[in-house]
Amino acid sequence: HPAAQDKVKEEVRRVLQGRTEITPDDQAALKYCRMVMQETLRLYTIIPFVNRTAAKDRVLKESGKTVPKGTIVLLPLGIMNRDPDQWEEPNAFRPERFEEITSHSSAKHGYLPFGYGSRTCIGNTLALTEGVVMIALLMQKYRLSPEPGFKAEVIAGISMVSKNGIVVRVERETSFP
C-alpha cells in the first residue's frame, strides 16, 4: 500500500524529525501509524477465533434458533473483521476507518484483535505500542514493497501464520541521515 506507506513516512518525518528514540509524546502523535497497525490487525487477525460461554439463553435474529445458557460459542474474528454489514469495503486496506474515536475501533462493531471483556489479552496496550514504534522506526529508514509473485499460504491454528513465511523487498531510504 504505497500511499499509506508514504503517509506514514511523512508523519514519522514530521514527528520524529530524524530522532531514533521515540518518547511517549511521540507515540501519541504517531496517529496514522496507530491507524495502520489497527487496520493491519483487522485484516490479518492474529487469533482467528475466541470462545465465550453464553451467559443466558439467546435467540439468534436470522435463524430464530436458541443458543442455550452455558453453550460455548466460537467467535470467528477473521470473519467478523471483514463483515460487510460492519465494514465498508471490508477487504480494502483503509487505515482512515480508525481515525475517529467513535469509528469501528470498538467491540460493538466487531473489532476484537485482542479479545474483549474480562478475557481481553493483557498485552494489548504493549502490543499496539510496540507495533507503532516498530512501524515508525522501519519507515524512518526503509521502504517496503511486496515481492513480485509471492503469495503467503495462511494457516489458521491457535494463531494465524504463513506456511511459507512473508517475503518483502526492503530498500534503504537515501534521505535518512
C-alpha 131/C-alpha 128 separation (Å) is 5
Torsion, Cα of 127, 128, 129, 132 (10° steps): 120
Residue 33 in marked binding region = no
C-alpha 52/C-alpha 116 separation (Å) is 10
C-alpha 128/C-alpha 30 separation (Å) is 12
Known binding positions for heme? 121
Known binding positions? 121
